[in-house]
Amino acid sequence: MKEQISGAEALMRSLLHEGVDILFGYPGGAIMPVYDALYDYRKELNHILVRHEQGAVHAAQGYARVSGKVGCAIVTSGPGATNTITGIADAMIDSTPMVVICGQVGTAMLGTDAFQEVDVVGITQPISKWSYQIRRAEDIAWAVSRAFYIARSGRPGPVVLDFAKNAQTEIFEYESKKVDFIRSYEPVPKMEQTAVEKAAKMINDSVTPFVLVGQGVELGDAREELRALLEKAQIPAGCTMLGLSALPSDHPLNMGMLGMHGNLGPNVMTNQCDLLIAVGMRFDDRVTGNLKTYAKQAKIIHFDIDPSEINKNVKVDLAVLGNCKETLAAVTELVDKTTHQHWIDSFKPYEEKEFNKVINKALNPTEGPLLMGEVVRKVSEAANNEAVLVTDVGQNQLFGCRYFKFSKGRSVVTSGGCGTMGFGLPAAIGATFGAPERTVCMFCGDGGLQMTIQELGTIMEQQAPVKIILLNNNYLGNVRQWQAMFFNHRYSFTPMTNPDYELIAKAYGIPVQTVVNREELDEAVRKMLATPGPYLLQCAVLEEDNVLPMTPPGANVDEMLLEVNS
């Protein structure tokens, strides 16, 4: 006779069977049997008590992004479940593997508007890879294994398990399950040799090829394969925001960041190349600008694992489906070893123009208040360009991604597609658990910090070594910039009246320092990085600083503004 255990304990064993060793969560009534079982598994399953369920899912995202593993969050029913919705949607659009386990009322109470009953499956189906309600204890092992398989396979994403309370308390004969196949689900399309050969020929025939590097390179663990292709064929590349650390910042073929606030050269050359090679990216509108004029002169090859992305936004000439670790290697074998030095050199005038008009001013000011760009670069360099960059959303994100430098993979944790303010602080907590050997630097603005500021309590309890750099400009900075540029400086509800962040940090037992003068910055950054555990460095920055260059909304990708007209 097999061992008889409760459904709640079956969940513990099923999680361990999937290799889970850390959970981010918050208890409540409908998930209480699970938390009771967790009490006996505290050594095997490290549970991090967050201060809000949104914090749990963002922490799970941060953990997943830096570790490559599936993040796991556990919450109760009703508001506990609905508080995870933003993080689930965020993980879906940014392809982050995550399993969210929500408590639910017993099956006998479903549909009765019972206390804290919400239709979790109905709400989350459109924003997850799979959403399933566990109604019987005997389904737990299968459902958990299936959830983790779906979350981590193919194009990763979030999965939601809605766990009825009666299934948590039922006693049954437990047997572990392993799901590694689902009928009609093809996580990795079969690579077609004819597509590989066509791609190689198009690359060999090209005079001015350009590669767009997306997060799919990181997700597919294909950083070395990407470099091999670029270096053999000598092709310049630009990176999306989420793909920034897929290629070292100082690589001679890395021309910088793509998109609305990217670098001038990559954006201009997108509309001048004769072959555009997109790898693991989805042609987001912030990257393409006006689709009617985007890369119309070029033939386009799209490497992707998800067939639904092909021709979704940009019509391509060739799709190479499959995991880019495999497809890039196959194409590289067939491409000619060549040089495109004249084409590579053509980026340099744009680099120089952007440096003179924007970058030098942002990084090397001689007077006036601190600038966000100089703070970001100082922190990056002081950490030997080896730290994990976590950002919130807004100007802090854009300056962070523009001026932080990367030498290692899986080093960018930011909310790309969803643009979730409040993401940064809890995601950074998760990142410290996903990569405990690395320095985690989290940049945020005064607006985003206050959205999830309660997670300072999690940092306090866990002593999570998050280095928080608060770029305080007393504004909702990115909205203010748009108001300045496109709404005649009508600052409608963007000025912020802020609390004393030093007092708040001290209340949570977090070391803190405020920097106002440029002469103090180097030593303050050094002290922050040298201090064990968490730290809050508040930098009083120029209130009306602007992120430049900028492609105005609806403009062509190469129509970048290098200055703001007053």
Question: What are residue 391's DSSP bridge partners?
Answer: 443
The DSSP secondary structure of 65-91, one letter per residue, reads: HHHSS-EEEEE-STHHHHTTHHHHHHH
At 226, which amino acid appears? L
- Extract the tokens encoding 453: 């500021």
Asked if residue 520 has pLDDT above 90, the reply is yes
The neighbour count for residue 435, using CB atoms within 10 Å, is 22
Q: Which residue has the tokens 């497809």?
A: 327
Query: Which of 339, 335, 291, 334 minimizes the C-alpha distance to 311?
Result: 291
- Extract the tokens encoding 363: 């990084």
Question: What are residue 275's DSSP bridge partners?
Answer: 209, 299
Measured in whole angstroms, the distance separating CA 137 from the mean position of its chain's CA atoms is 34
Q: Which run of H or E residues covers position 35?
A: helix 32-38
CA distance 465 to 532: 7
Tens digit of each residue's pLDDT (9 = 90 or more) over 307-330: 999 999 999 999 999 999 999 999
Q: Which run of H or E residues covers position 412?
A: strand 412-413
Q: Classify domain 3-174 at the CATH topology level.
A: Rossmann fold (3.40.50)
Q: What are phi and psi of 24, to 5 degrees?
A: -110, 125
- pTM score, two decimals? 0.97
CA distance 186 to 542: 51
Tens digit of each residue's pLDDT (9 = 90 or more) over 73-99: 999 999 999 999 999 999 999 999 999
Q: What is the DSSP letter of 47?
A: E
Strands 237-239 and 254-257, how do they pair? parallel
The mean pLDDT value of the chain amounts to 97
- Extract the tokens encoding 346: 């053509």
Q: Which residue has the tokens 């969560």?
A: 25
Q: Tell me where in the chain the CATH 3.40.50.970 domain(s) lie.
A: 3-174, 369-540
CA distance 514 to 61: 29
CATH entry, 369-540, from 3.40.50.720, 2.60.120.10, 3.40.30.10, 3.40.50.970: 3.40.50.970
Q: What is the DSSP letter of 552?
A: -
- Residue 473 backbone class (left: φ over 0; alpha: ψ -120 to 50; beta: rest): alpha
Three-state SS string across 159-203, please?
Answer: EEEEEEHHHHHCEEECCCCCCCCCCCCCCCCCCCHHHHHHHHHHH
- Place 1 in a pLDDT band, splitting at 50, 70 and 90: low
Task: Tell me what pLDDT residue 322 has.
Answer: 98
The dihedral of CA 355, 358, 359, 361: what is its sign?
A: positive
Q: Give how far Cα 419 sits from Cα of 89, 372, 391, 412, 448, Å.
A: 11, 19, 11, 14, 11
- Per-residue pLDDT, averaged over 457-466, amounts to 98
Question: What are residue 387's DSSP bridge partners?
Answer: none
Tens digit of each residue's pLDDT (9 = 90 or more) over 61-76: 999 999 999 999 999 9
- Place 566 in a pLDDT band, splitting at 50, 70 and 90: low
- Place 564 in a pLDDT band, splitting at 50, 70 and 90: confident
- Per-residue pLDDT, averaged over 199-212, amounts to 98
pLDDT above 70: percentage of residues in the chain: 100
CA-based Rg of the chain, rounded to a whole angstrom?
Answer: 24
Strands 299-304 and 388-391, how do they pair? unpaired
- Place 269 in a pLDDT band, splitting at 50, 70 and 90: very high
Tens digit of each residue's pLDDT (9 = 90 or more) over 210-262: 999 999 999 999 999 999 999 999 999 999 999 999 999 999 999 999 999 99
Q: What are phi and psi of 436, to 5 degrees?
A: -65, -20
CA distance 151 to 159: 6
Q: For the chain, report the end-to-end CA distance as a whole number of angstroms.
A: 79
If you count them, how many residues does the chain have? 566
Q: Which residue has the tokens 């830096």?
A: 66
Question: Is 193-348 assigned to CATH 2.60.40.1940?
Answer: no
